[in-house]
Amino acid sequence: MCRFRGLLLVFFLTVAAVAQHPVRARHAMVVAQEPLAADVGLEVLRDGGNAIDAAVAVAFALAVTHPAAGNLGGGGFLLARFADGRTAFVDFRERAPKRAHRNLYLDAEGRPTGESITGWRACGVPGTVRGLELAHGNYGRKSWAALIAPAVRLAREGFPVSWQLSESLESAKALAASEESHRIFQRNGKYYEPGELLVQAELAATLERIARGGAAEFYEGETARRLADQMERHGGLITLEDLRDYRAVERPVLRGAYRGYEILTAPPPSSGGIGLLQMLGMLEGSGYERAGFGAAATIHHVAEVMRRFYADRSEFLADPDYFRVPLGRLLDPAYLARRRRSIEPDRATPSERLRPGEAAEPERSQTTHLAIVDPEGNAVALTYTLNGAFGSGVTVAGLGFLLNNEMDDFSVKPGTPNMFGLVQGEANAIEPGKRPLSSMTPTIVLRDGRLFLVLGAPGGSRIINGVLQVLLNLVDFTMNIQDAVDRPRFHHQWKPDTLFLEDGFSPDTIELLGRRGHRISRIASVAVVEAIRAGEGRLEGATDRRGHGKAAGY
């Protein structure tokens, strides 16, 4: 009977998650990729917490209920816009350990070994706990321990495994790398099935220590010592010194505009914000939208814009603490106009012929996103990740959390594709202490100085294009928020020279794109966008049909 009730719970959660209309509320909204975590955030807001408090609580809860991406052992970005007009951007991206070097993952013949993807040597120094504490300390108001308490409860008491979690565990090749991961996520030698109760007592104990001791516990206390000890025993790179030296940082928010809307987004080491602004800059004034949504001419033009940004990404973007990113020139309207003029209306540009622009100055992815608006009008977009699904696959014995495989986001070998097929250059080569380039694109949009949109997505290299298309659907094609999120999407990233299409585009459109010279391939999903639209005295939350999340408001 207990198992039957669990299955019923999963069924109703799933039905709620896939409703094809936005959730509407007057006061506050939380959109997250896992329903239990979304409920945690809403309860924090009901209890007087602000958007930062809710984001911290949801992030810790996702580390329990969405282990493929929610995490303590990864990193990410938090973007906030407060009701008084202030903005903040917290960079808690992972860093390369001090023992890392540019040829770390190459064999004697200079070929990538694959160690950047799976196992102990794939891990960058985690940033999540330090980043959440920085955001909370500067902008939150509820107690740190109170915000972690729901995650502790979910880990200690357990929760019914959803169909989605069960399927992701079954398909996660990375987990084969760790007996400890098997011990936690398997029962009697088999991964947990839908409706079974997943209890994570060791993770609960780790969370309780962090609740008592703050980030210092994770980076300097018992948790740090255990992590460093196991790294040494398994041939990993992270040392106690790496953990003690890790710092999250605040960076200036990247700002731009599109058709009168103000865009607030992520600066480097994210490539997402600059990519979003570059592509919007190339599209504005082009008249691409006149053919209408889903038309071959529309897809062709936007895909060519995508192609040009990703070519620039390969050359000019990296951790700004290690590389002089030519931000001004990449966003210069004259430069973007030149890139736009190079687009032929009836012919795809072969990627082999398209090089990064002259902008330099002399000298399955698994991420998760949450969007929150509180009753005061404060807004948060937070994206964080383990990189691949379940990260490196490694769970730290006795601590209960998975570690990232973020080292693969560096240029392991410049010019060679990473696990997402991205070709990257020298700017993103491995260096000790450096943060790898990211595609995470937390974004907030204002209209006439007022909050209009909060959005972001998981999806690896496809995140930027997913966020772009939802924004275009709202602004240029005047869709409601749920339609804007749910409509079929496409993706081009320069290399491979392939236009990836989701299901839902007409056969005639696909044929016309082929005639223009596009190499077409099907793809299951171009990112999983979570969004909140504000205006007219209400909030509308949309969770993507491609995922299994929840929008919750009051």
Please give the positions annotated as active site. Answer: 367
DSSP state at residue 176: G
Under 8 Å between Cβ of 126 and 245: no
Q: Which two tokens stand for residue 398?
A: 């006795």
Q: Return d(Cα 233, Cα 227) in angstroms, integer.
A: 10
Walk across the sheet containing 520-522 and list its strands.
490-491, 499-501, 520-522
Under 8 Å between Cβ of 239 and 231: yes
Q: Return d(Cα 312, Cα 275) in angstroms, integer.
A: 9
Q: Return d(Cα 133, Cα 219) in angstroms, integer.
A: 12
Under 8 Å between Cβ of 224 and 243: yes
Q: How many CB atoms lie within 10 A of CB 232?
A: 14
Among 317, 309, 232, smallest CA distance to 269 is for: 317
Under 8 Å between Cβ of 385 and 71: yes
Q: Tell me, what amino acid is at 422? A: L
Helix (H, G, I), strand (E, B) or coil at 324: coil
Q: Which residue has the tokens 């250059």?
A: 425
Whether residue 269 is preceded by a cis peptide bond, meaning omega within 30 degrees of 0, is yes
Q: Return d(Cα 405, Cα 74) in angstroms, integer.
A: 8
How many CA within 13 A on the CB side of residue 286? 29
